[in-house]
Chains A and B, each alone.
Chain A
Amino acid sequence: MTETLTLDKPRSPRRPAARRSNFELYSWLFMRLSGLALVVLVLGHLFIMNIVDGGVHRIDFAFVAGRWSSPFWQFWDLLMLWLAQLHGGNGLRTIIDDYARKDTTRFWLKIMLYASMVVILVLGTLVIFTFDPTIA
């Protein structure tokens, strides 16, 4: 076959040997389990914030301070933050793997994704644990 007949070949003919890693298995499992947990956590959160007791109109600094004085709600919000961030991040990782055509694009998109995940996780965790109800 001559060079002029070379058509777009999106597939490479060789593939590397299996890496014997269970990472994809665990991330697949994590998506299912965190998804189930998030159904309860997020719907519960939306119910408390928007429907119960006057809903969104009663939310102010004092309301948030009151909730976060309880370790239970601290733990709820922390769990929701981490699960949602990792669940969404893992989903985006899969989408990047699917749709990025070039290895360099894939690499930089993933760097951006992981960086944004770290920023939001660190910031959120910091706020939940260092929240000071007396500054108002």
Chain B
Amino acid sequence: MTSTAAVLDNTANTASEIPAPDGSVTVTVKIQRFNPEVDSEPHWESYDVPALPTDRVLNLLINIKGYVDGTLSFRRSCAHGICGSDAMQINGMNRLACKVLVKDLLAKKGKPTTITVAPIKGLPVMKDLYVDMEPFFEAFRAVKPFLISYGNEPSRERIQSPADRERFDDTTKCILCACCTTSCPVYWADGSYFGPAAIVNAHRFIFDSRDEGAEERLDILNDTEGVWRCRTTFNCTDACPRGIQVTKAIQEVKRALLFKRV
């Protein structure tokens, strides 16, 4: 499409074709675009689109893709905050586009609203808002996020008390959206750091009474790129769309290592 021309004259793309329902306001969506076949580096493009206060940022992106520029690329699957596909940086904060409402981003009365959307940082950008998640999943796999048990398989289910379940309840909520890991300044600077999401998923098994692999995982996280790189900046806790206390989980892993006790 005319993306390169739009960059040159730097005017906002208008979207008269997008249906504007009653009560909608015009907002400017400023998106970091990057097409690896044309661009040498990412650039910003603005789109003026009608938005209802009850719209999610994802609706605006879908409208832009559907009516203005079909080449806009981003991930989204369930669009209801469950699958964790549409993590992106919205107004500088890592959020799921399907969970952020326009009404929470509107400027004060009479002032124009600009919503900035950029890909999550620290992972290679493939196109527009779409990043290569492989380094993220590599760190996830490296902490062995599966049940490890030795000896004979039990003939019944593995029993666990509610109190034992409670210990790792918070970290079972992770949807692997990468909001936390890509908000972490240590991860930005040093990509070999496991990152908050991998530690959260290790925590989920380390503190599970049915699991017997705690020692292996603690050994992995005790290494140079493990939990000791964490600077407790709490970016991860702030970014998590599931409200997981990520920094607290990391601290619990540190404590388990420090006192040699799970």
Q: What residues of chain B lie closer than 8 Å to A24, measured between beta carbons?
A: 222-224, 226, 228
Q: How far, in Å, is B199 (CB) from chain A's closest CB?
A: 14
Q: What residues of chain B lie closer than 8 Å to A98, measured between beta carbons?
A: 186, 189-190, 229
Q: What residues of chain B lie closer than 8 Å to A13, measured between beta carbons?
A: 134-135, 138
Closest to A99 in B: B189
Q: Determine whether the beta carbon of A11 is less than 8 Å from that of B192.
A: yes
Asked if A22 lies at the interface with its beta carbon under 8 angstroms from chain B, I say: yes
Q: Determine whether the beta carbon of A21 is less than 8 Å from that of B223.
A: yes
User: How far is it, in angstroms, between the C-alpha of A25 and the C-alpha of B260 when the chains are bound?
Assistant: 11
User: How far is it, in angstroms, between the C-alpha of A41 and the C-alpha of B132 when the chains are bound?
Assistant: 49
Asked if B78 lies at the interface with its beta carbon under 8 angstroms from chain A, I say: no
Q: Determine whether the beta carbon of B124 is less than 8 Å from that of A8.
A: yes
Closest to A16 in B: B223
Are A11 and B228 CB-contacts (below 8 A) given A25-B257, A98-B186? no
Among A12, A13, A24, find the residue whose CB has the most chain B CB atoms closer than 10 A.
A24
- Segment 212-237 of B: residues with Cβ below 8 Å from A: 219-220, 222-226, 228-229
Asked if B125 lies at the interface with its beta carbon under 8 angstroms from chain A, I say: yes
Q: Determine whether the beta carbon of B222 is less than 8 Å from that of A25.
A: yes
Q: How far, in Å, is B175 (CB) from chain A's closest CB?
A: 21
User: How far is it, in angstroms, between the C-alpha of A126 and the C-alpha of B219 when the chains are bound?
Assistant: 40
Q: Determine whether the beta carbon of B223 is less than 8 Å from that of A19.
A: yes
Q: Determine whether the beta carbon of B223 is less than 8 Å from that of A18.
A: yes
Q: What residues of chain A lie closer than 8 Å to B145, measured between beta carbons?
A: none
Q: How far, in Å, is A15 (CB) from chain B's closest CB?
A: 6
Asked if B166 lies at the interface with its beta carbon under 8 angstroms from chain A, I say: no
Asked if B70 lies at the interface with its beta carbon under 8 angstroms from chain A, I say: no
Q: What residues of chain B lie closer than 8 Å to A11, measured between beta carbons?
A: 123-124, 134-135, 138, 191-192
Asked if B126 lies at the interface with its beta carbon under 8 angstroms from chain A, I say: yes
Q: Determine whether the beta carbon of B186 is less than 8 Å from that of A5.
A: no
User: How far is it, in angstroms, between the C-alpha of A28 and the C-alpha of B253 when the chains are bound?
Assistant: 14
Residue in A5, A8, A12, A27 whose beta carbon sits within 8 Å of that of B192 in the complex: A12
User: How far is it, in angstroms, between the C-alpha of A101 and the C-alpha of B102 when the chains are bound?
Assistant: 39
Asked if A77 lies at the interface with its beta carbon under 8 angstroms from chain B, I say: no
Q: What residues of chain A lie closer than 8 Å to B257, measured between beta carbons?
A: 25
Closest to B139 in A: A15
User: How far is it, in angstroms, between the C-alpha of A25 and the C-alpha of B122 when the chains are bound?
Assistant: 26
User: How far is it, in angstroms, between the C-alpha of A40 and the C-alpha of B34 when the chains are bound?
Assistant: 53
Asked if B9 lies at the interface with its beta carbon under 8 angstroms from chain A, I say: no
Asked if A7 lies at the interface with its beta carbon under 8 angstroms from chain B, I say: yes
Q: What residues of chain A lie closer than 8 Å to B132, measured between beta carbons?
A: 7, 9
Closest to B36 in A: A5
- Segment 129-168 of B: residues with Cβ below 8 Å from A: 132, 134-135, 138-139, 142
Asked if A102 lies at the interface with its beta carbon under 8 angstroms from chain B, I say: no
Residue in B36, B219, B226, B228 whose beta carbon sits within 8 Å of that of A7 in the complex: B36
Q: What residues of chain B lie closer than 8 Å to A71, measured between beta carbons?
A: none
Q: Determine whether the beta carbon of B134 is less than 8 Å from that of A18.
A: no
- Segment 223-262 of B: residues with Cβ below 8 Å from A: 223-226, 228-229, 254, 257-258
Contact residues of B with A, CB < 8 Å? 36-37, 122-126, 132, 134-135, 138-139, 142, 186, 189-192, 219-220, 222-226, 228-229, 254, 257-258
12 contacts between A and B (CB under 8 A): A5-B37, A7-B132, A9-B124, A10-B191, A11-B124, A11-B191, A15-B142, A18-B219, A24-B223, A25-B257, A28-B228, A94-B229
